[in-house]
Amino acid sequence: MANHEDKPWTVPALADAKRAGRKLAMLTAYDAVFARVLDRNGADLILVGDSLGMVVKGHGSTLPVTVDDIAYHTAAVATGLQRTLLVADLPFQADATPERALDAATRLLQAGAQMVKLEGAGPHKLDVIRFLVEREIPVSAHLGLTPQSVLRFGGFKVQGREERAAAKLREDALAVAEAGASLLVLECVPSSLAQAVTAASPIPTIGIGAGPHCDGQVLVLHDFLGLDSGHRRPKFVKDFLADGGSVAGAVRAYCDAVRDGTFPGPEHAYQ
């Protein structure tokens, strides 16, 4: 594949990794110090997630997060990176129209992101993906449990267990790739469904609570370090600090476990 461990990751290198069967290790970060540790110890991608609303700002959901919040933390994280590819979330309603999404994504790329992530695959979301990609902005899609939809879902629940919902997710995964997305996050879906989506998807999949068969994995920084963020601990979380002995060691242990397929294990997956 085109990327080597000492070379900066690029959007095309993600596709190369999928073709080569090389698993991608992704973590969230929100400041320069943690970004530097992740970058130096093997993380391939960093997400400045709207999860910061819950683990940094202490809210009960991601809905209060603003574009200003994401831009601020993206700029901080970017200063700590040399090789890791930086993805930034479009927060709640920042992608309500293609024009709003373009304004927000432009700010995030100017802050240092190399890709923006948006949730969902409804018709207007596909329009947004196409609109951004046509304007040279790389996009990651996000399907399954989409936290910005928590009010409609009635909580944080596994998605795609019923056949109709699973078929819709498979259809949506192909639709976001067709619209131009370069990456797809699958959150809280049954392992077998994520496996089928990954096999069919022309773009790399990144799982979180989606079993071991995705093309990569992501965890929220605070969960991966075993910190109590005041929220219920999901079953897909593992405390890597307990085994790694230091933050740097935890990052190395996580990246190794993702790449050799030992994380996530059966205990971290939904059926």
Taking 90 as the threshold, does the pLDDT of residue 174 lie above it? yes
Asked, as a colleague might, if the bond just before 264 is cis with ω within 30 of 0, I would say: yes
- Which architecture does CATH list for 11-268? Alpha-Beta Barrel (3.20)
Taking 80 as the threshold, does the pLDDT of residue 87 lie above it? yes
Beta-bridge partner residues of 218: 26
Catalytic residue among 99, 162, 163, 187: 187
Rounded to whole angstroms, what are the CA distances from 241 to 66, 104, 196, 210? 30, 34, 32, 22
The rounded percent of the chain whose pLDDT value lies above 70 is 95
Active-site residue flag, 187: yes
Displacement of CA 46 from its chain's centroid (Å): 8
Could you read off the pLDDT of 115-130 as tens digits, one per residue? 999 999 999 999 999 9
Confidence at 243, pLDDT banded by 50, 70, 90: confident
Mean pLDDT, rounded, for 64-84: 98
Rounded to whole angstroms, what are the CA distances from 76 to 30, 108, 127, 154, 207? 7, 12, 30, 33, 25
Could you read off the pLDDT of 216-242 as tens digits, one per residue? 999 999 999 999 877 777 888 999 999
Backbone dihedral angles phi then psi of residue 26, each to the nearest 5 degrees:
-125, 140
Q: Would you kindly state where each structural domain of the chain is located, as residue ranges? A: 11-268
pTM above 0.85, yes or no: yes
Confidence at 4, pLDDT banded by 50, 70, 90: very low
Q: Is 29 exposed, middle or buried (0-12, 13-18, 19+ CB in 10 A)?
A: buried
Mean pLDDT, rounded, for 16-37: 98
Rounded to whole angstroms, what are the CA distances from 152 to 81, 93, 137, 140? 36, 14, 29, 22
